[in-house]
Amino acid sequence: MAQRPQPRFPEPNTEPYWEATKQNELRYPVCTACETIIFTPRRHCTDCGSQDLEWKVSRGEGTVYTFSVVRQNRMPGFVDLGAYSVAYIDLDEGFRMLSGVIGIEDPTRDIHIGQRVRVEFEEQEEGEYPIPLFRPI
């Protein structure tokens, strides 16, 4: 089982995002006044400054905007993972998030820009928050 680092709390901007992962939901905040999506999540609208936000649930499908395959790292939780990918995913609802692509044989060969992907919640050995990652559809 994977053991990626967990998010840390208290951190009020991203807590609703991470709490939702426990229900395997990918949530994102939207401004009720001007409908701007605020991602990376914060507690104010980055377009109009309103603090009246609503958390919506994404369908979890999107497209790889860009990616890299990490072949060398010195980070706890990743050192033993072998080559793994990180990627920006453009979700169909219109927000871009940092994540990674999993469920492929060789990340150096099997990921491409424009690839359609769906979210998957990876349970971790320790810690209560599963990590949202993406698998090719």
Partner 1 sequence: MNQDRQAAIVGIHEYPSRLTRGVSAMDIKIDCIRTALEDAGLSWGDVDAVYDAGDGEAGGGLQLSAYLGLRPNVIDTTQVGGSSYEFQAAHAWRDIAAGKCKVAILSYGSTAASARWAIGTGSMQRPGAANWEANMEIPYGTTLIANYAMVKQRHMHEYGTTTEQLAGISVATRRHAMRNPDAVQAMTDLEFVGVNEITTADVLDSRVVADPLHLLECCMISDGGGAVVIASPEVARNTRKPPVWIIGSGEAIKYTESDGDITVSAGAQSGPVAFGEAGIAPDEIDIAMIYDSFTITVAVCLEDLGFCKKGEVGDYVAGGRLAFDNPDAPALNTDGGGLSSNHPGMRGIFLLLEATRQLRGESHSQRPDARLAVAHGNGGRLGSTHTGGTVILARD
Residue ranges that bind partner 1, judged by CB under 8 A = 4-11, 13-14, 17-18, 37, 39-42, 65-78, 81, 84, 86-88, 90, 94-100, 108, 113, 129, 131
Q: How far apart are CA 27 and CA 30, in angstroms?
A: 10
**Which H or E element spans position 69?**
strand 61-70
Q: Report residue 91: phi and psi, to 5°.
A: -75, 150
Nearer to partner 1, 7 or 49 (CB): 7
Rounded to the nearest whole angstrom, what is the least distance from the CB of residue 32 to partner 1 in the complex? 18
Rounded to the nearest whole angstrom, what is the least distance from the CB of residue 137 to partner 1 in the complex? 20
- 99, amino acid identity: S
Rounded to the nearest whole angstrom, what is the least distance from the CB of residue 50 to partner 1 in the complex? 17
Nearer to partner 1, 23 or 68 (CB): 68
